[in-house]
Amino acid sequence: MVIFEDCRVPKLNRIGAEGEGFKIAMAGLDGGRLNIGACSIGAAKACLTLAREHVATRKQFGNAIANFQATQFKLADMATDLAAARLMIRNAAAMLDAKHPEATMYCAMAKRFATDAGFAICNEALQLHGGYGYLKDYPVERFLRDSRVHQILEGTNEIMRVIVSRALLSGSFLD
């Protein structure tokens, strides 16, 4: 936490015009949201890799659990959601770089989707690890815990939904 009490900043050191601080701070949120989404994607990728390795070696009823169709379906869904989240983050980043007028909405959508998908993928990886996934000896536990906060940072995912819905209701989106 950074606290400034009775802190005076000379005019020469001010960023922007007086009264524009909030606007300047808000302009940095889109990039921050993409960064948080990318962090979730990294955690999800790591968990998917760990889960794939675990299910290939863990046996139940004399079979690797990777051979069970339910496990295969989970892995397929995890990989699909990870790929979709990556594409959304990349698309939003391209729009932000291009200063597209709807970049903020796309950054909000990408952050919301990537962080929700990232947490869900980490959670499924923990489930595929069984009781081991909950132990601190296994990195999946930490990835799950860390990915949960991504749904809150840089604006909660509920706020991301507000941003998207306001853009929709104002006539923006996929025009």
Return the active site residues.
154
If DSSP codes are grouped into helix, strand and coil, which group holds residue 70? helix
Instruction: Give bridge partners of residue 51 from the DSSP assignment.
Output: none
DSSP symbol at 48: H
* Contact of 106 with 95, CB cutoff 8 Å: yes
| One-letter amino acid of 159 | I
E strands, the chain, where? 59-60, 63-64
Residue carrying structure tokens 């990835």: 143
* Contact of 68 with 143, CB cutoff 8 Å: no
Q: Where are the alpha helices (DSSP H) in 58-156?
A: 69-97, 103-129, 139-150
